[in-house]
Structures are given as structure tokens and as C-alpha cells.
DNA sequence: TTGAAAGCGCTAACAG
DNA sequence: CTGTTAGCGCTTTCAA
């Protein structure tokens, strides 16, 4: 039955071994432990493999046997086409990919686009052939994250949710970072502050939100950033008035729309402090279109320090998004071993751009 | 031995079955064929699973048995942190993810960041637990693509390389699309044309490239776009002079640098036709910094139609990047079945922005 | 409805 | 250096 080439069925390690009249171990070794057999034999095996169209051990079978998939799962809070609109998120993903790359692992993007139904989420998460998950900035009640946690595999969370029992977190000190920016805003003389934030709840509503409600959000990142502003504002007592506007979507268009609304609601606002660069850039677009000049008529600040923000010379908080991804990936891959891993907080810096200035003196 | 909770080792379908004193089939059915057992029994199984910390059939074992991974592999030509600098690529990936999402498949990003060594590439590709690959705009000699092809799994290629035997391609007619833009450029009166293109060879060299050498590139996308310009230019005979500048990297900084160089080399150029929006936007940045006003001093055109380009009101060719990704994914997943699949060419449109105008009359 | 049996393709002791 | 043996955890006929 030694018909040359074109095997009637997919070649396997066993068929190859049979063909060569060697044991399966030998063939396996040819691929995984070259030092365990003579070079000639190894070459003979490899040559026969090529001839039979065998491209090495089946990765699935290998994973089953080795009990490890060599793959990192990535959990996002929103569909990819949406997530990718945010340069900070893109940088994060690139960072994770980078870490995977360096460790020879693959990166599996879990399809979290669908429903938020717990049942469906669990199914998707449980069907992912991965050794662990990195969750990027998902809400506290994200069902995919819950399912990942249930699965008893290592999980590293980035940004939020914070305070999960026994879960390593990679993030920044959002509250302090925003506070440092807020200090400049208030020191510049601003007292009528508009805050633009992305969603504070899982639904996609937009509009004005009472400050104390915002400070109660399950999205801790937004909440902490707003808290950072409130912290500083409280030093100024009643002088300061804060209006919070939530945008349903996180893209420039929403930012522009939100800027328009908030200025309608509270026209005496002199600064828009945004919880992301994307929203701030949207506000800039609105301002440009509305003939509002920045910063002389209105100051605008961002958060993230994306390349786009740097280009626009935005005053913003710069955080190391790509590094966060890299660290998240690295920590995850070291996790089962180094179970002692502690959460990690990375540094941020303030970028003094040209979009913050003292408020125009009221007539 | 029926110790409640905390199993000493990972629960499996078999241990669950034993615990419940039912067969493995029954447990399997509880997950995969709910209609094959009574609802009570099923609930009993599910409850016991929860109790024992069993989160459903192991995906790897399942894949081995079913002989399918339910995962699509993605092959990129460059590391992710690099690829993601290009909004068109980001859109493409989002499109593939979208298609996967809709089909309940995962998306596996193959770590192609490393060497271009054939051996290493084959190893990485062969270790990916996927049912097929989508390759995005890789060079004709990309070793990862070669390995994927060797593996005898379905492969869908996007953009390039073209003309691969028995491989479905999703793309656009680059040559015609660029020609339609070039017609406008020449009709506007431009005769001294600068072409800015991303790399034409696998190495990362930058500098001026002879036109005929550019038309011989293994990167068919770049080549075809340049060919499109050449096609139209040939109608004008010797009147037209073309200078081609290659950028080593594909990002705005490189675009800016290339714009500076090419204008130094050929100062009488009146229009920069760029093979991507990223390069065109880089050129715009350079122009703004150099006090060259667009389009009155210099016209600049792009290619892709990214959101950034629309914002900058660039004159460019708009191609449906996200749709390309979606179609590539869909076709791949339908492939083993519908083996009759044909390559697919999507439509492009010309976007008349404000960065192309007749050349300033020479003094 | 349920159960028994037969692998999917591979790796890792362990013994030769 | 090579072969034998024993599963990894699961799905799926086929019978009961």
C-alpha cells in the first residue's frame, strides 16, 4: 500500500511513522526534540513529511495532549469595528499582540460583539481555545468577563473593573491623573466646568447626568476620572459648578454632538474637560464648525495622549496604552507560574498643549 | 468518594458523568443537543456542572474530535503595532472580525512579527489552531503565506499577492482606481508628478526609485497603482515627468519625510500623488510645516478613503476596507463547502476633496 | 432516551 | 537513539 504522494486521507504523524517504518515517537521528536535523533534520520523524516504533504503535528491534538493552547484570549467590551475607532484601544491591542508575539503565542479575539446575554456569553467564552484572558476596560457587569472568571483560567484585567478578587489588574491611577490636569484647569481660573464622558452605564444613553450619579458609575475608569476633577474642585468650594454630559458612543461624532448639547445646556461653561482624547477631538471639531475658538473662547482638554491628540496639540493626560497591553499580556503569560503577581499601575504624564488657557473675562 | 465541591483535579465530562451516574453521552448531549434528553435531566447535569466547576466541554478536545477549530487565522505582513497605524488596515481587521463574529467564529491573530525566515514562519503557521487563513496585503514572497498554503487549508488573500493558483482573492482594481484619479490630476494641468509610495520591496529602504523598477515590484498593489498613473500619463507623451519616492515605513512621519525629500530632489513637482492616505496626510503635515500651501502651491492626493482623510478633505480614492475584510472572512468560512468561490473585486469611488487644484503658473 | 465502544492526533514516561 | 504504552477530553455511531 505504499502509493507514493497524494495520500487518500490527511497525513498524520502515525501514517508518516508507518510509511517510514519508525515509531511515532521518532517522528514527534523530529519536530519537537531535534537533539533526540540523528540528523540523517531527522532529515529523512522531514523529507518524507514534505512528500506526503504532512505539515507537522496537528496543533489541536498537540494542545489537547500538552494541555495548553499557547493562545491568549482577548475580551473587549464592544465589537471590534467599534473598539478600533479608539486609538488608545488600538494601541492597547497592539501591545498585547506584541507581548504574544515575543512569547510565540497567538492572540485570539473573542467575538464579544453579540448579545450581553449571560448564557450566550458563557458559551462563546467557553468555546475559546485559550490558556487565559486579557480583558480590556470592560464594565463591572460584563458577562464575558464573568464567564472567563468562571472558567478558572488566569485572567488579567486592564483598567476596569477594579477590585476583583484574586484578579491581577494593569492600569493607571485615573483619579490622580485627572486631578493633576484639573489642578491646571482650576488654576487657570476656570469655574464653570463641563465634563464630557463616555458611557457611565451599560446602555447607550446620552445627555446630562447629575454629578453624584456619575460618581456612582460601574465604569470605574470614567468614575475615577470624574472623581479626580471633583476632588480638586472641592478645594474651591461653591465657586465651581460642574455639568456632566454623557455620550452614548465613543467616537468623534458623538464628541462633537455632546459638545454642542452641553454648551446649549450650560452656555457659560469655559472649559470642556473630556475623559478621552476622542471626545475632546470631537469637541474641537464642533468648536471649529461653530466658530468657537480654542482656547480663547473655550478651553478643551482630553485624556489618553493618542497620536491624534498630539497632532492636535491637545492639553491632555498621556498614558502608556501600548505598554499597558504589553504588560497585561506578559503578566498573563507568567501567571500560572508566578501566582504571586500583583496588580500594576503605570505612570501618566500631563501634556501641556495649546488648548487650555485662562477663561475669557466675562463682559 | 463523592466529596462535594472543589474537585481535586479539573472536572471533565467523564468525571461529571461518573458523579451523576449517567453516561458521557448524556452529559455531552446536555450541552450540544438539548433536545436529546429530558429537561429535568439536563438541568440536573447543568446544576452538577456548576457545582463541580465544570464549564462545559473542553474546546480543544472538542476541536480535535470535530476536526474543526471554528477559528479563522489572520496573516498580516507586519507586526500588529505597525499594521494598526494604518486606519485602512484597522478597518479591514474589524471587517474580518465582524464576519467571524456573525458566524460565531473566533479570530486568531498569527504572530507574524518575527523573522521572515521560512522555517520559523512555517512553525508559527503550523501551530495555529485554525480552519483557514485570511492574508491581508502581504508580499508575494511572504513566508507565512507560503506556509499557510503548504498547510492545505483554505486561504483567502486580500489585495495581494494576486494570481495565486487556486486561491480566492478579495480586492479592488487598483490600477483602474488610480487611473481614474490620475485623469483628474492630469486634466487639472499637472505635468510634473511626484509619486509617494510605501515599500516596493521587502526591505525597508527609502529614496527615489526609477519608474520602471517600481512597475516591477512584487507588491502588486503599489505597482498597480503606480501603473494606473503611468497609464494615464502615457496619453500625454513626453510632456509628463514622474518621480517615484519610496518610504521605508508606512506612517505619517515617513510620509512627511518623503515629501520633504522628493521636493528637494525635484522641486518643480506640482502634485504629490500618494498611494495611501497615510502618506498623503504625512505630506500635508510637511507642507503645513514648510509653509507650502495646499492646493495652491502643491496638490496632494491620497488613496484609501480613511476617516482621517475625509476629515482632512483629501482628494482620494475611497475603497471599502471594512467590507473587504468582511467579504474575505465570509468567503473563507464558506470555502471548503463552496469550493467554486471566485475572486471578488469591490468598487471604489473617487472623492473630490480640496487638496487637488490646477498647478500654479510657473513664473 | 441512554450507554458502550471507538477513536480524533498527539506527547511523554519508561524501557530497551 | 528508538519503540511501547497510555492516555489528553471529547463526540458519535450503533444498540439497547
How far apart are the C-alpha atoms of B69 and A108, rounded to whole Å? 12
Residues having Cβ less than 7 A from any atom in strand C? A 10, 12-14, 24-25, 28, 31-32, 56-58, 61-62, 64-66; B 21-26, 29, 36-38, 41, 61, 64-65, 67
Model pLDDT, residue B339: 61
- Measuring alpha carbon to C1', the residue closest to nucleotide D9 is B61
Tens of pLDDT, residue by residue, chain A (363 residues) = 333 344 456 789 989 998 899 989 999 999 999 888 898 999 999 999 999 999 999 999 999 999 999 999 999 998 888 888 899 999 999 999 999 989 989 999 998 877 788 988 999 999 999 999 999 999 888 999 999 999 989 999 999 999 898 899 999 999 999 999 999 999 999 999 999 999 998 777 789 999 999 999 989 999 999 999 999 999 999 999 999 999 989 999 999 999 999 999 999 999 999 999 999 999 999 999 999 999 999 999 999 999 999 999 999 999 999 999 999 999 999 987 656 678 999 999 999 999 999 998 754
Q: Which nucleotide does the CA of B13 lie closest to, via C1'?
A: D9
The reported pLDDT for the residue numbered A5 is 41
Listed in sequence order, the DSSP H helices in chain A are: 13-20, 24-32, 39-52, 59-66, 80-83, 87-103, 118-126, 143-150, 174-187, 211-214, 220-234, 252-265, 277-290, 307-311, 321-334
Nucleotides in chain D with any atom closer than 7 Å to protein CB? 1-13
CA B27 to C1' C3 (Å) is 12
CATH of domain A71-172+322-345: 3.40.50.2300
Question: Is there a shared CATH topology between the B3-54 domain and the B174-319 domain?
Answer: no
> For residues B298 and B272, is the Cβ–Cβ distance under 8 A?
yes
Residues A100, B79: C-beta atoms closer than 8 Å:
no
CA distances from B78 to A110, A290, A348 (A): 22, 41, 29
Contact A63 B60 (CB under 8 A): yes
Chain B 32-51, CB < 7 Å to strand D: 32
Residue-wise pLDDT tens digits, B209-251 = 999 999 999 899 999 999 999 999 999 999 999 999 999 899 9
* Fold classification of B3-54 (topology level): 434 Repressor (Amino-terminal Domain) (1.10.260)
Provide the residue ranges of all domains of chain A, joining segments of one domain with +. Answer: 3-54, 71-172+322-345, 174-319
Residue among A84, A111, A129 minimizing CB distance to B69:
A129
Q: What is the pLDDT of residues A214-246, one digit of tens each?
A: 999 989 999 999 999 999 999 999 999 999 999
- CATH homologous superfamily of A174-319 equals Response regulator (3.40.50.2300)
A-B CB pairs within 8 A amount to 151
Contact between B80 and A69 using a beta-carbon 8 Å cutoff: no
Full-model pTM = 0.93
The torsion region of residue A290 among left (phi > 0), alpha (psi -120 to 50) and beta comes to: alpha
Which nucleotide has the least CA–C1' distance to A16?
A: C9
Amino acid at each position: 500500500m505504499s502509493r507514493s504522494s497524494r495520500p487518500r486521507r490527511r497525513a498524520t504523524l502515525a501514517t508518516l511513522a508507518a510509511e517510514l517504518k519508525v515509531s511515532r515517537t521518532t517522528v514527534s521528536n523530529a519536530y519537537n526534540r531535534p537533539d533526540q535523533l540523528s540528523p540523517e534520520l531527522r532529515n529523512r523524516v522531514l523529507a518524507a513529511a514534505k512528500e506526503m504533504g504532512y505539515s507537522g503535528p496537528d496543533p489541536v491534538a498537540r494542545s489537547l495532549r500538552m494541555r495548553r493552547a499557547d493562545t491568549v484570549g482577548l475580551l473587549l467590551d464592544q465589537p471590534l469595528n467599534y473598539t478600533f475607532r479608539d486609538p488608545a484601544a488600538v494601541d492597547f491591542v497592539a501591545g498585547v499582540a506584541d507581548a504574544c508575539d515575543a512569547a510565540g503565542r497567538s492572540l485570539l479575539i473573542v467575538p464579544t460583539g453579540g448579545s450581553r446575554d449571560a448564557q450566550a456569553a458563557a458559551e462563546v467564552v467557553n468555546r475559546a481555545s485559550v490558556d487565559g484572558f486579557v480583558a480590556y476596560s470592560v464594565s463591572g457587569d460584563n458577562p464575558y468577563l464573568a464567564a472567563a472568571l468562571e472558567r478558572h483560567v488566569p485572567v488579567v484585567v486592564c483598567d476596569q473593573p477594579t477590585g476583583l478578587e484574586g484578579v491581577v489588574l494593569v492600569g493607571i491611577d485615573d483619579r490622580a491623573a485627572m486631578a493633576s490636569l484639573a489642578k491646571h484647569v482650576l488654576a487657570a481660573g476656570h469655574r464653570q466646568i463641563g465634563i464630557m464622558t463616555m458611557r457611565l452605564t451599560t446602555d447607550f444613553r446620552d445627555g446630562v447626568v447629575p454629578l453624584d450619579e456619575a460618581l456612582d458609575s460601574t465604569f470605574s475608569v470614567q468614575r475615577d476620572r470624574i472623581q479626580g476633577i471633583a476632588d480638586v474642585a472641592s478645594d474651591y468650594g461653591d465657586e465651581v459648578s460642574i455639568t456632566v454630559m454623557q455620550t452614548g458612543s465613543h467616537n468623534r461624532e458623538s464628541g462633537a454632538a455632546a459638545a454642542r448639547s452641553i454648551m446649549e445646556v450650560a452656555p457659560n461653561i469655559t472649559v470642556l474637560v473630556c475623559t478621552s482624547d476622542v471626545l475632546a477631538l470631537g469637541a474641537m471639531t464642533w468648536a471649529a464648525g461653530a466658530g468657537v475658538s480654542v482656547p480663547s473662547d473655550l478651553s478643551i482638554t482630553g485624556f489618553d495622549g493618542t497620536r491624534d491628540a498630539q497632532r492636535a496639540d491637545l492639553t491632555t493626560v498621556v498614558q502608556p496604552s501600548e505598554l499597558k497591553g504589553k504588560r497585561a499580556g506578559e503578566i498573563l503569560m507568567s501567571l500560572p507560574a508566578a501566582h504571586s503577581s500583583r496588580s500594576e499601575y503605570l505612570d501618566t504624564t500631563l501634556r501641556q498643549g495649546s488648548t487650555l488657557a485662562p477663561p475669557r473675562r466675562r463682559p
